[in-house]
């Protein structure tokens, strides 16, 4: 747990990613903490991401977690389907209950056809009423580590254009 008053004082955050595309955008939130992760990323002075080599892809090919307020669940689902050509699925626990984030919200794991402009898609999805946060992370890390099967790693430094 992080004391939220200390967030602006964080020098460096080390984190993982569910997928990293060729433009170094990320999908995160497989563990359900996408809101807190995005806040920590935004508040830190430096960000380092590590992920196994198979998680580095040309373009995303997995679902995007979308955290939704329970009151807006149905509306968000239908909007994702009708206006964004998404296929949302409510994240469920093995016991048959919906997964509830530590913020009391639900997660819609949503599959989209290839996402061309990830930053635009992130902005569009966040405009849906009731959407709290989306698992598209377009803020680039300062450094990425690609972990290889042999235990070695390859550093990838982000250099803004």
Enzyme catalytic residues: 37
* CA distances for 114 relative to 46, 66, 85, 124, 138, angstroms: 29, 17, 11, 15, 16
List all residues 6 or more positions away from 27 whose beta carbon is below 8 Å from its beta carbon: 17, 18, 19, 60, 62, 64, 65, 135, 136, 137
* Residue in the structure block whose two tokens are 């430096």: 46
Say how far apart CA 34 and CA 19 lie, in whole Å: 13
* CA distances for 126 relative to 35, 67, 120, angstroms: 12, 10, 10
* Residue in the structure block whose two tokens are 């679902």: 63
How does DSSP classify residue 6?
G
């Amino acid at each position: 747990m992080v004391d939220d008053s200390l967030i602006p004082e964080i020098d460096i955050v080390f984190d993982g990613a569910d997928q990293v595309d060729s433009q170094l955008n990320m999908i995160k939130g497989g563990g359900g903490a996408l809101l807190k992760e995005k806040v920590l990323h935004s508040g830190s002075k430096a960000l380092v991401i590590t992920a196994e080599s198979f998680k580095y892809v040309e373009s995303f090919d997995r679902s995007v977690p979308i955290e939704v307020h329970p009151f807006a669940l149905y509306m968000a689902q239908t909007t994702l389907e009708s206006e964004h050509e998404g296929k949302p699925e409510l994240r469920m626990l093995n016991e048959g209950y919906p997964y509830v984030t530590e913020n009391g919200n639900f997660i819609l794991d949503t599959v989209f056809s290839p996402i061309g402009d990830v930053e635009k898609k992130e902005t569009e999805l966040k405009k849906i009423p009731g959407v709290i946060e989306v698992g598209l992370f377009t803020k680039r890390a300062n450094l990425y580590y690609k972990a290889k099967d042999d235990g070695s790693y390859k550093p990838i430094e982000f250099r803004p254009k």
